Amino acid sequence: MRYIRPLVQTDPARPKGAVTLAGGWCWFDRVEVLSREAAPAVLPVAALTPEELAPLTAPRAPVAGLTMDAPRVMAILNLTPDSFSDGGSHFGQELEDGLALAAEADMLDIGGESTRPGAEEVSVEEETRRVAPVISALRESGCGTPISVDTRKAEVARAGLAAGADMVNDVSAMLFDPQIAQVTADAGAPICLMHAQGSPETMQDDPRYTDVLLDVYDHLAERVAAAEAAGIARARIVVDPGIGFGKTMAHNLALLGRLSLFHALGCPVLLGVSRKRFIGTIGEAEDPVARMPGSLALAVLAAGQGVQLLRVHDARETRQGLRLAGAQWGM
């Protein structure tokens, strides 16, 4: 099997024969062809078959009403006591903080269960109690920003969508609770499918891959197919390589270095890397809050690879960074 990674550019000097990536702000005229059997090779776009080129160039459908022709900021609102970066920080001011984030972001991602390494599972009842009332309150307050409910559980997704959420963000890619696929399909909502190796309780114990890039790609391709089989159109599917979920620092860096491969799935790509441990290790920042500069750098680099959705804690800073980068890219 050939895996096709576009060598993405944003330079204003665009050569003849270059094609636009996913209907967005980037272009490419060469690709890296990867395989499990042969060494990588760089080829011109003209060497691709129509079937290989089509998913790379087809414009992405809007997600929860957001067009995918510019990088979008998804702000994190964790309603948990034990999230690795901001656990408990929103307690008592969930609505106020949610409205403030909504003013800075294109989308809110609201979750009631921590999926940090070592985190324990939360009951459906408790997770619903944390999430659904806040989503309802935001909608009743006139918040029109799209909302994603961050959950692995079908009943929590159902409650979140009923309360006014627009999208489901499932870090298990429908494997933890397969009924979440039917809930999403019945609602006609988009879903984000993330790669994770193992559960939060054990995922960082000893993660191993044959080839992390191709293994993650194949897993996401399988989960996209499963979502389509459940009645969720590919136009409503987002993919996320799951940085930090069952991955060492070397795995994370390998995925980030060839991130553009995931455009070949024909879906918008989401990156959730904000404040993660390896940023602190490389950037010498033990406090998660102090990892904002490194998180911003990776967000801008990802947008330069055509990533459409950036899940972040620091929405205002990320938006500012993207505006400056976009000004250089002619956006």
Tokens of 46: 């003209």
The per-residue DSSP string of 47-113 comes to GS-HHHHHHHHSPPPPBTTB-SSS-EEEEEEE--S--TTTTTTTTT-HHHHHHHHHHH-SEEEEESS
Judge whether 127 and 160 are in contact, CB under 8 Å: no
With 0-12 / 13-18 / 19 or more C-beta atoms within 10 angstroms meaning exposed / middle / buried, residue 197 is: buried
C-alpha–C-alpha distance, residues 168 and 158, integer Å: 9
Cα of 56 vs its chain's centroid, Å: 18
DSSP string, 273-313: -TT-HHHHHHHT--SGGGGHHHHHHHHHHHHTTT--EEEES
Per-residue b or e along 263-273, where b marks 16 or more CB atoms closer than 10 Å to that residue's CB: bbbbbbbbbbb
Q: Quote the CA–CA distance of 37 and 3 in Å, as a whole number.
A: 11
Answer yes or no: 247 catalytic: no
Are 71 and 322 within 8 A, CB to CB? yes
Cβ atoms of 314 and 295 within 8 Å: the answer is yes
Q: How far is residue 40's CA from residue 65's CA, in Å, rounded to a whole number?
A: 38
Q: Among the options 116, 130, 236, 311, which is catalytic?
A: 311
Q: What does DSSP say about strands 147-150 and 27-28: parallel, antiparallel, or unpaired?
A: unpaired
Q: Could you confirm whether 130 is annotated as catalytic?
A: no
C-alpha 3/C-alpha 255 separation (Å) is 14
Q: Exactly one of 116, 276, 291, 319 is catalytic; which is it?
A: 276
DSSP 30: E
Q: Hey, which residues are catalytic here?
A: 276, 311
